[in-house]
């Protein structure tokens, strides 16, 4: 009989219980954060909306986005979802706050709140709860649409589901939603609303007679008819003024934050309810445990790590990846333990690196991207964010890419493929100019360079629309010194790219590629002719 237990790693006495102490510390921090957020939300009103949203914006900068999203959602749900009907004004102001932060901080704020609200609504709807929680949650969803957090696609999905089941409770909810957003739905997608009305009429004639209270069904159909005819007077209690007044308040507060990007979440009901299974594709760069950066075991460890502390597994991984200085090690640990690319971006900036130290961010990011077993877009979005942040990062990325171009023959097939995907992303997003290819001597191309250029240009041409391609390749005309690159690209596109294209791709892709090559060649030719004139 073996009396000796299986060997385990010795933990010094002073280190025992450190995990529990860290958990307690984290719990205290979260309680303190919740108290602060609760205090701000309790004071929320129309006159101090700018001040409160500004203070919450600062809290987002000072804390983990995950902690802030969870805390804010929790506080707002407690304030807005009760067993009694909540005041309409209170609901609007709270959703307006979410909308402002959705634009100023990032779309993951609105996405997190929306997902929590929809999931809670689905849970209460299925349990047939007696109170007014379901209605309150429904009004929150309506105002998330009113204040441009979510697209009409979700609202139509919910309405179709309610029309499909068509109980008395469903009719109440349909009326509630149409009263709050009906005319906006008509403006956004009149044909979809028309289809929904037709479906509701068919359902009412088929099953409506079973209801004891026929008046509610008639009232719903009259309301739908009033919407169809754009007749606001026939909807009792309809008053668009409070929403319009708050929208006017919203405009100056979000005016400079969006930079013209699309902030409305175009997400379906099924996608929200199954987010844990299918991933949150509607949030660019969101983390998902279904496709972790290292593996599931490591990922779970990372999620529990407090800021500033990393596990021995991550440090061992850093050593294996030859992160041989403290700076490189710190950057690597931030990359491996961040929740998403925005979290990584903020944490890397907080390291306060200067000059040569700062350039290490680019070198480590590129090394990590190339060493992943399969391409991970996380690095591409982070690279694009740094290029957008400051031109000095653009220059460092350009020099780093040039180093890799010289070493293409020594890259493994996986690293080669990852480099192609990364370069295509930064060119497609215009984070770097196509002039990054100017160091390649088109007159002296070896096999690795031909293969690399063929993959980069094929992917760029197929995955980018004509207007974007015109902008990307049109940038070459701005500098007369890039004449050699223009000639080299034209030659490569016509001779190398289309050679044996049928054997490498499908007939459809080959045809698209041929069209795009002709389009880009014309763009380069037109720009060149204009320069000569």
User: What DSSP letter does each residue of 380-436 carry, written as one string?
Assistant: HHHHHHHHHH-HHHHHHHHHHHHHHHHTGGGS-HHHHHHHHHHHHHHHHTTSS-GGG
pLDDT given at position 497 = 77
Indicate whether 415 belongs to any domain. no
Indicate whether 513 belongs to any domain. yes
What is the tally of structural domains in the chain? Answer: 3
200 and 266: one domain? yes
167 and 214: one domain? yes
270 and 320: one domain? no
Residue 348 neighbours by CB distance under 10 Å? 22
266 and 322: one domain? no
Per-residue pLDDT of the chain (533 residues; tens, 9 = 90+): 444 444 444 444 445 455 455 577 888 889 999 999 999 999 998 899 999 998 998 888 888 888 999 999 999 999 998 888 888 889 999 999 999 998 888 888 999 999 999 999 988 888 877 788 888 998 999 999 989 899 888 988 998 888 888 888 888 888 888 888 877 888 888 888 888 888 888 888 777 566 666 777 778 888 887 777 767 666 666 677 788 888 888 888 876 554 334 578 888 888 888 887 777 776 754 544 444 433 433 433 333 333 344 566 777 777 777 777 788 888 888 888 888 888 889 889 888 888 788 889 999 999 999 988 899 999 999 999 999 888 889 999 999 999 999 889 889 999 999 999 999 999 998 889 888 898 888 888 888 988 899 889 888 888 888 888 888 887 776 667 778 888 888 888 877 777 666 556 677 777 887 888 888 878 777 544 444 44
220 and 342: one domain? no
Indicate whether 289 belongs to any domain. no
62 and 169: one domain? yes
Indicate whether 507 belongs to any domain. yes
Task: Give dist(CA 186, CA 350) in Å, integer.
Answer: 47
- The number of residues making up the chain comes to 533
Secondary structure string (H, E, C) spanning 444-485: HCCHHHHHHHHHHHHHHHHHCCHHHHHHHHHHHHHCHHHHHH
Indicate whether 4 belongs to any domain. no
Buried b (16+ CB within 10 A) or exposed e, 17-32: eeeeeeeeeeeeeeee
Final residue of a structural domain among 378, 401, 424? 401
349 and 453: one domain? no
Final residue of a structural domain among 401, 419, 445? 401
3-state percent breakdown (helix, strand, coil) of the chain, nearest 5: 75, 0, 25
Indicate whether 287 belongs to any domain. no
Task: Give dist(CA 184, CA 148) in Å, integer.
Answer: 11
Indicate whether 5 belongs to any domain. no
239 and 313: one domain? no
147 and 49: one domain? yes
| Predicted model pTM | 0.53
pLDDT given at position 144 = 92
Token pair for 530: 């204009």
166 and 236: one domain? yes
Token pair for 503: 């054997």
Helix and strand element counts for the chain (H, E): 26, 0
Range of the domain at 397: 306-401
Token pair for 242: 């409070």
Locus of tokens 């591409």: 380
Indicate whether 238 belongs to any domain. yes
pLDDT given at position 311 = 60
E strands, 60-113, are none
190 and 90: one domain? yes
SS3 533: coil
107 and 184: one domain? yes
Residue 270, domain CATH: 1.25.40.180
């Amino acid at each position: 009989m073996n009396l000796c237990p299986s060997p385990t790693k010795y933990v010094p006495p002073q280190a025992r219980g450190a995990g529990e102490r860290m958990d307690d510390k984290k719990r205290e921090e979260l309680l303190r954060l919740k108290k602060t957020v609760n205090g701000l939300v309790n004071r929320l009103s129309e006159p101090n909306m700018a001040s409160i949203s500004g203070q919450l914006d600062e809290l987002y900068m000072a804390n983990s986005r995950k902690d802030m999203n969870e805390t804010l959602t929790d506080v707002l749900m407690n304030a807005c979802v009760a067993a009694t009907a909540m005041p309409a004004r209170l609901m609007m102001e709270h959703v307006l706050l979410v909308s402002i932060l959705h634009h100023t901080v990032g779309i993951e704020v609105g996405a997190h709140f929306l997902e929590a609200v929809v999931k809670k609504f689905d849970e209460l709807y299925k349990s047939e709860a007696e109170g007014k929680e379901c209605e309150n949650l429904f009004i929150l969803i309506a105002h998330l649409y009113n204040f441009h957090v979510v697209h009409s696609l979700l609202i139509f999905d919910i309405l179709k589901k309610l029309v499909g089941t068509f109980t008395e409770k469903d009719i109440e909810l349909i009326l509630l939603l149409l009263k709050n957003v009906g005319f906006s739905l008509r403006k956004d997608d009149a044909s979809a609303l028309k289809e929904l009305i037709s479906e509701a009429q068919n359902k009412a004639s088929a099953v409506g007679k079973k209801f004891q209270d026929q008046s509610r069904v008639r009232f719903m159909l009259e309301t739908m008819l009033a919407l169809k005819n754009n007749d606001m007077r026939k909807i009792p209690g309809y008053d668009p003024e409070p929403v319009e007044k708050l929208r006017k308040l919203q405009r100056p507060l979000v005016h400079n934050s969006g930079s013209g990007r699309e902030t409305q979440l175009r997400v379906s009901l099924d996608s929200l309810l199954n987010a844990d299974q299918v991933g949150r594709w509607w949030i660019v760069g969101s983390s998902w445990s279904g496709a972790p950066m290292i593996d599931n075991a490591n990922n779970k460890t990372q999620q529990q790590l407090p800021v500033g502390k990393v596990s021995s597994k991550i440090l061992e991984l850093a050593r294996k990846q030859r992160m041989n200085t403290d700076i490189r090690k710190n950057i690597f640990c931030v990359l491996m333990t961040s929740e998403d690319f925005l979290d990584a971006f903020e944490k890397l900036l907080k390291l306060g690196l200067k000059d040569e130290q700062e350039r290490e961010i680019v070198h480590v990011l590129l090394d990590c991207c190339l060493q992943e077993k399969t391409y991970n877009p996380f690095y591409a979005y982070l690279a694009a964010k740094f290029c957008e942040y400051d031109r000095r990062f653009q220059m460092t990325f350009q020099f780093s890419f040039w180093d890799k171009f010289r070493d293409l023959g020594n890259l493994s097939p996986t690293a080669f493929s990852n480099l192609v995907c990364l370069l295509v992303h930064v060119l497609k997003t215009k984070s770097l100019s196509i002039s990054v290819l100017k160091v390649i001597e088109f007159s002296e191309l070896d096999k690795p360079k031909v293969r690399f250029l063929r993959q980069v240009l094929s992917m760029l041409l197929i995955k980018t629309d004509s207007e974007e391609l015109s902008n990307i390749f049109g940038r070459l005309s701005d500098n007369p010194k890039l004449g050699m690159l223009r000639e080299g690209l034209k030659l490569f596109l016509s001779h190398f790219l289309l050679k044996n294209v049928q054997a490498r791709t499908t007939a459809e892709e080959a045809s698209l590629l041929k069209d795009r090559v002709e389009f880009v060649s014309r763009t380069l030719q037109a720009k060149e002719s204009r320069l000569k004139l």
